[in-house]
Structure 1
Amino acid sequence: MIPSRRTLLAALAAVGTLASLAACAGGSDSSGASDAGGGTYSFWDPYPQFDASSAWGKRVSRCGTKAGVTLKRTAYDTTDLGNKALLAAQQGNAPDVMLVDNPVVSTLVEAGILNRTSDLGLDTKSVQQNIIGAGTIDGAAYGIPIGANTLGLYYNKKVLSAAGVDPASVKDWNSLTAALQKVRSTGKKGITFSAIGTEEGSFQFLPWFWGAGADLKELNSAKGVAALSLWKQWVDDGLAPKDVLQNTQTTSWQEFATGEYAFGENGTWQLGNADKAGFDYGVINIPAQKGGSAPVPTGGEFVTVPVQKDTARYDVTGKIVTCLTSDANLLASDTTLTYVAPVAAVQAEQVRQNPKLKPWVAAVAAARGRTSGGLGTTYPTISQPLWTAVQAALSGGKSAQSALDTAQAGAQKG
């Protein structure tokens, strides 16, 4: 069934609100619609930074060839892709296959423009449940993840050593705060992160929020207040810089890369930059309040199949999706996209080939989708009040409790 214009317009507004943070960014504005004839199928992705000669571009082309067709690839930036997908569906010329950021899946499903994977005969049994959860609505999967990236704590070995801190001793919030205090006493800096007033700020706050046991449906619970109070304490005590209020994940990384900080909260996508930083580093999982690994939000994209008027195209489309998500190609995502595979057997091979991925596999195992747990398209109406609360508390404008009370009221209105 082709969705109604009213449904698509509502979804278009939701995609605009999501404005994804993702690790993959760039800009491009080329067009590419489905060509029903000549053995040409269309594929859209959010990777304009990769041209046809890149490993990713070649992989897409090979999957078309393997399916017996020419696969015409078009790249947009993440937000633009979601908007164009909705408009293309309204016009009846959606692409055959589309790779979309995981929080957008539920919006596209609500608009009625994606097929269930089970209806296409695609197998998702081997995919980790917490990863595919971001693309699962009412028990049905609407895409297959090509991998996941998430957050961890990078640490500077020299800075910690000089402060007499063993990174293995950082197991909960108290031990992390104690480590930051020891580092400060040596004249170095504690921890940097992104608390900017965008989705990036919510993304980086979620491990601490979830690590306290808080629920996004109740932002102002005592557990949520504890998480925001932790960040506020760090900023007020000088253990984290005040510029976290303006930091994106990129500028936060640049601070950590100066070599002055003990810890930097950042993602899998910084591994290449970490190797170029000029100092020895390590990675630990973000600790939960009382110990163990905190749940972290999953980043990454899903291969999806938009609804087509010509259902005869789905046979070839299924072959293309199967190729893009094969174990061999998921393994290749390690070096192409710096993703942890969504399949345990492939993760094991990734770690064998690159031991530095071991903590990231553990982090992904503890991760959850931002739209999981039935939140779906309500997530943006929660995330914006949440990042606004973080800004209000860290700037000193409100107490953590007051800021989250306001956020909860705003989320309920949304």
Structure 2
Amino acid sequence: MQPTKPLVRTAAAGLACAALAFATACSSGGGTTDQDADTYTWWDPYPQHAEDSDWANRVAACGDAAGVTIERTPFDTTALTNQALLAAQEGTSPDVILLDNPAVSTLADTGMLSTVDDLGLDVSGVDENLLAAGVVDDETYGIPVGANTLALYYNADVLTAAGVDPATVTDWASLTAALEQVTGNGAKGITFAGIGTEEGSFQFLPWFWGAGADLRQLDSPEAVAALELWTGWLDAGYAPDSVITNSQNTTWEEFLTGEYGFAVNGTWQVNSALDAGFATGVIPLPAQNGGTAPAPTGGEFIVAPVQTDTERYDVTRQIVECMTTPEGFVETATTFAYYIPPTADGQTALLEAQPELQPWVDAVRGAKGRTSDNLGTDYPMISEQLWTAVQNALSGSATPADALAQAQTDAAAATE
């Protein structure tokens, strides 16, 4: 989840309006019938990439390869989802949309997206854990163009001064012990983002899942243990009070001061870490009892909305395939500098060019989609209650157990 900031059932299918996390829409089954046969419309969530950017040129090149012109329109992430739902309701959907992976189930639930089987796309090579974010009721909608996730950055200078070997950080106990050594040596311990937004849930999930907790049961003993870990770090002075309002960007700014031993952050900070004024490294986020905790996947899916003119699908498929070859995945990864390809072939090709990204490839291979386990459109409602519980516990207004008990009650009511 980068902090800034893809096909037909049948057009005749009768669809009821669904109350969704971001907006409400009814899919009437297609785009306009007067589209220019040589122009294909493309929407993505990258307004920061201008018309002359490497990304815009990459998109245009896939149109050129298919013999058409791509008309690209960027939106910010939330606006894109809302606009896509509105366009489906009005019958003006674009040919291709690139959107944040948790929103795929939201769009698919309206019937506005076709499946990969409908479009004739082969997704057998895509890592199952990454593809899962686009699976709804056993149907697959779209292909991830890449993934990013979280790991644990460390300041090698701070750890060396405190006598901490990062290789020994393999579970919660060893991480907490390392934080005790770091703070005991006069440095600051760990910073993370506990803000009351999706970013807060995104950063808490590796600890939640790493304890064995399930998003359908927010008040389980495992979930309580994860939240007690965070509150315990605050109580001991291993993490700053600022985590309750920290976004992932502000967390990173804290880490770049050089005062912290560790920071939870994502693939998108790789280049920034290289430019830091101190030696940095990356290790996996540890699960409670050892091993790597599943971290949530960020990144976008490429999906194709239903079109009235079904003859357009052949070119749409060519555009999607251009974006999702092994070479295409690597080009996307290097264009953005924080994407890991979602296939073994793409990951191998990336590592041949940038072997230092091996920890991030490992992290993505072990990651998990936020809407996996068939949570679909329930996820945003569950997530809101999860980040609310984190806020209440970090602020001291409720114990972790009480905060999560209330979250479970509220999430169950919201998803009935």
Length-normalised TM-score, structure 2: 0.93
| Aligned position for 1:380 | 380
**Displacement after TM superposition at 1:15 (Å):** 2.0
Structure 1 distance, partners of 2:82, 2:381, is 18
**Displacement after TM superposition at 1:348 (Å):** 1.6
Question: Which AA in structure 1 matches 2:89?
Answer: Q
1:106-117 equivalences under 5 Å are 106-117=105-116
Question: Which AA in structure 2 matches 1:260?
Answer: E
1:1-400 equivalences under 5 Å are 1=11, 7=17, 10-11=19-20, 14-15=21-22, 36-337=35-336, 338-400=338-400
**Displacement after TM superposition at 1:352 (Å):** 2.2
**Displacement after TM superposition at 1:138 (Å):** 1.7
Question: Which AA in structure 2 matches 1:344?
Answer: A
* % identity of equivalent residues: 56
The DSSP-based 3-state class of the residue aligned with 2:17 is helix
CA contact (8 A) 1:115 1:305 kept: yes
| Aligned position for 2:402 | 402
Question: Which AA in structure 1 matches 2:22?
Answer: V
Question: Which AA in structure 2 matches 1:407?
Answer: A
Of residues 164-173 and 350-359 in structure 1, the stretch that sits farther from structure 2 once superposed is 350-359
Structure 2 distance, partners of 1:347, 1:34, is 40
Q: Deviations over 1:214-270 (max 9, x none)?
A: 000001000000000000000111100011000000000000010000000000001
Structure 2 distance, partners of 1:153, 1:139, is 33
Question: Which AA in structure 2 matches 1:319?
Answer: Q
CA contact (8 A) 1:392 1:403 kept: yes
The DSSP-based 3-state class of the residue aligned with 2:102 is helix
Summarize the Cα distance change of 1:35–1:78 in structure 2 as closer, same or farther, 3 Å threshold.
farther
**Displacement after TM superposition at 1:6 (Å):** 5.8
Summarize the Cα distance change of 1:413–1:160 in structure 2 as closer, same or farther, 3 Å threshold.
same
Question: Which AA in structure 2 matches 1:7?
Answer: C
Structure 2 distance, partners of 1:266, 1:215, is 22
Structure 2 distance, partners of 1:46, 1:2, is 30
**Displacement after TM superposition at 1:308 (Å):** 0.8
CA contact (8 A) 2:116 2:142 kept: yes
The DSSP-based 3-state class of the residue aligned with 1:15 is coil
| Aligned position for 1:24 | none
Summarize the Cα distance change of 1:309–1:152 in structure 2 as closer, same or farther, 3 Å threshold.
same
The DSSP-based 3-state class of the residue aligned with 1:74 is strand
Length-normalised TM-score, structure 1: 0.93
CA contact (8 A) 2:32 2:308 kept: no
Q: Deviations over 1:79-106 (max 9, x none)?
A: 1001001111111110001101000000
**Displacement after TM superposition at 1:334 (Å):** 2.0
Runs of 4 or more consecutive aligned structure 1 residues displaced over 3 Å after TM superposition:
2-6, 32-35
CA contact (8 A) 2:23 2:85 kept: no
**Displacement after TM superposition at 1:54 (Å):** 1.5
| Aligned position for 2:412 | 412
**Displacement after TM superposition at 1:325 (Å):** 1.1
Aligned residues, how many?
A: 397
| Aligned position for 1:21 | none
CA contact (8 A) 1:191 1:264 kept: yes
Q: Deviations over 1:262-307 (max 9, x none)?
A: 0000000011111121111000000000000000000000000001
Structure 1 distance, partners of 2:12, 2:357, is 42
Question: Which AA in structure 2 matches 1:389?
Answer: A
Question: Which AA in structure 2 matches 1:234?
Answer: W
Structure 1 gaps of 5+ residues are 18-31
Structure 2 distance, partners of 1:34, 1:95, is 12
Question: Which AA in structure 1 matches 2:354?
Answer: N
Taking only aligned residues, the RMSD between alpha carbons, in angstroms, comes to 1.6
Structure 2 distance, partners of 1:80, 1:190, is 37
**Displacement after TM superposition at 1:410 (Å):** 0.5
CA contact (8 A) 1:2 1:89 kept: no
CA contact (8 A) 2:63 2:319 kept: yes
Structure 2 gaps of 5+ residues are 1-10, 25-30
Question: Which AA in structure 2 matches 1:349?
Answer: A
